[in-house]
Amino acid sequence: MAESKLVIEGGHPLQGEIRIQGAKNSVLPLLSAVVLCDEDVVLERCPALSDVYAASRILTHLGCRCSFRDGKMEIRNGGISRSEIPEAMMHEMRSSITFLGPLLSRTGSCTLYLPGGCELGPRPIDMHLHALRQMGAEIHETHGMLRLQGRLRGADLHLPFPSVGATENIMLAAVLAQGRTRIHNAAREPEIRDLAEFLAACGAKISGAGTDTVIIDGVERLHGCVYRVMPDRIAAATYLSAAAAAGGSVCIQDCCPEDLTAVTEVLRQMGCRVYCHESRIYLQSSLPLHAAPYIRTMPHPGFPTDAQALLMAAHCKARGSCMFEETIFDSRYRHVDDLIRMGADIRLSGRAAVVHGVQKLSGTTVHATDLRGGAAMLIAGLTAEGVTELTELSHLDRGYEDPEGVLRSLGAKIERIT
């Protein structure tokens, strides 16, 4: 596709109501889970994202037939006819590693390629592989290619870190395994709960999802289901941060406020009026914002690492200083360079970043370094003087459905130029 860019004219407050897309970080493991089902599956509120298309191409390669229309992904499940995923498909999307558990569990063998690093630094899968070995998998690794085989059985597993992907892969490996699997120190992210609810709707026996101990009792088979994907809490955090930084008042509909308490708490510290009611979040922001003193990313329910870049952009013109500490990924400050080029005052030291608020950001040409870094540049562009041009939109399109359309509906001056 020809290189396109977003052209943003800063200085306009945001006003209005938006509905939140389905969650990227839930729909991807749900698409992996389809491998376990022997009947058709329909996912409602499926977001139109390049990562979703990539996952549906993997499902097609494995023997399914996918059709996506009006937010509904229909997967005709004619049975899994392959158990290997080509290297190109694996490298297209790192999170395809969650096909490992279900493919091995459903077919007894699985060949795929190490997903490799990404913009956030190395993305090891040692916890995934160690757990699958404990469940009886034989794993051979040569030149980045992984071959797994074996009949999986339940096991008592202890994760050294509450890894989201490892928790999901183990759940997907355990639902058809023989016997009981316990995952201790499991990730507690809301997407884990969504995956458990989907699997239960297909006949799995799972308890404890969303707590630090998930228990799965293996069953013979999983049937199909029609399932509505949860709303994307990071997309909600993105548009709330945009409204906070640009000023104005917005209402986010059809979201889960209880999944975003760490983010809404910071926005309140920054001086925004935030009011949550059922599936709506109202935010009112009058500028200038005040800096929150300290933001430390933590596993859920702590402050989400995916919102770090978003709140950093919102802090660039806030009064005072905020210290960020990124504890989840090794290199998740790649958006800082371009924020500084726009006039931000940010000092980096290892996992820490200190943002001193400045009076003004100036529009210029910037590029997305990764998915959430790209969203951070969008937010900075909305608050900058003049015009900001954002390139490398492929990162943004992995996780945001029509971001310029959503922001334009709130009064932003933003166009996609191809």
Q: Which residues are catalytic?
A: 118
Q: Using the rule CB under 6 A, give the single segment among 122-130, 170-178, 288-296, 333-341 that binds ligand EPZ.
A: 122-130
Q: Using the rule CB under 6 A, give the single segment among 157-165, 217-225, 279-287, 386-394 that binds ligand EPZ.
A: 157-165
Is residue 275 part of the contact set for ligand EPZ (CB under 6 A)? no
Interhelix angle for 164-174 vs 126-134, to 10°? Answer: 30
Is residue 374 part of the contact set for ligand EPZ (CB under 6 A)? no
Is residue 218 part of the contact set for ligand EPZ (CB under 6 A)? no
Closer residue to ligand EPZ, CB minimum distance, 54 or 328:
328
Is residue 161 part of the contact set for ligand EPZ (CB under 6 A)? yes
Closer residue to ligand EPZ, CB minimum distance, 127 or 251:
127
Looking at 95, 264, 369, 383, which residue binds ligand EPZ (CB under 6 A)?
A: 95
Output the DSSP codes for 40-94: -EEEES----HHHHHHHHHHHHHT-EEEEETTEEEEE-------B--HHHHHH-G
Is residue 297 part of the contact set for ligand EPZ (CB under 6 A)? no
Is residue 123 part of the contact set for ligand EPZ (CB under 6 A)? yes
Is residue 407 part of the contact set for ligand EPZ (CB under 6 A)? no
Q: Using the rule CB under 6 A, give the single segment among 124-132, 241-249, 287-295, 347-355 that binds ligand EPZ.
A: 124-132
Contact (CB, 8 A) for 192 and 214: yes
Is residue 125 part of the contact set for ligand EPZ (CB under 6 A)? yes
Residues 6+ apart with CB under 8 A from 303: 262, 263, 266, 295, 296, 297
Burial grade of 182 (CB within 10 A; 0-12, 13-18, 19 or more) = middle
Is the alpha carbon torsion for 57, 59, 62, 64 positive or negative?
A: negative
Contact (CB, 8 A) for 152 and 137: yes
CA distances from 263 to 246, 333, 357 (A): 17, 18, 19
Closer residue to ligand EPZ, CB minimum distance, 64 or 309:
309
Tokens coding 74 = 């229909």
Looking at 14, 18, 22, 25, which residue binds ligand EPZ (CB under 6 A)?
A: 25
CA 68 – CA 190 distance, rounded (Å) = 24
Closer residue to ligand EPZ, CB minimum distance, 285 or 308:
308
Is residue 209 part of the contact set for ligand EPZ (CB under 6 A)? no
Looking at 5, 12, 106, 128, which residue binds ligand EPZ (CB under 6 A)?
A: 128
CA 77 – CA 60 distance, rounded (Å) = 9
Give min distance, CB of 393 to ligand EPZ, in A.
Answer: 15
Type of residue found at 404: E
Give min distance, CB of 98 to ligand EPZ, in A.
Answer: 8
CB-based closest residue to ligand EPZ: 165
Report CA dihedral (334, 339, 51, 297) to the nearest 10 degrees: 60
Contact (CB, 8 A) for 24 and 395: no
Contact (CB, 8 A) for 146 and 118: no
Give min distance, CB of 177 to ligand EPZ, in A.
Answer: 19
Closer residue to ligand EPZ, CB minimum distance, 123 or 334:
123
Give, in degrees to the nearest 5, the angle at Cα 234 between 397 and 196: 105
Residue 29: which of 4, 9, 58, 2 has the closest Cα?
A: 58
Looking at 110, 206, 328, 380, which residue binds ligand EPZ (CB under 6 A)?
A: 328
DSSP classification of residue 297: B
Looking at 84, 194, 306, 338, which residue binds ligand EPZ (CB under 6 A)?
A: 306
Is residue 305 part of the contact set for ligand EPZ (CB under 6 A)? yes
Give min distance, CB of 258 to ligand EPZ, in A.
Answer: 17
Judged by the rule CB under 6 A, the positions of this chain that interact with ligand EPZ are 24-25, 28, 95, 123-128, 161, 163-166, 189, 305-306, 328-329, 371-372, 399
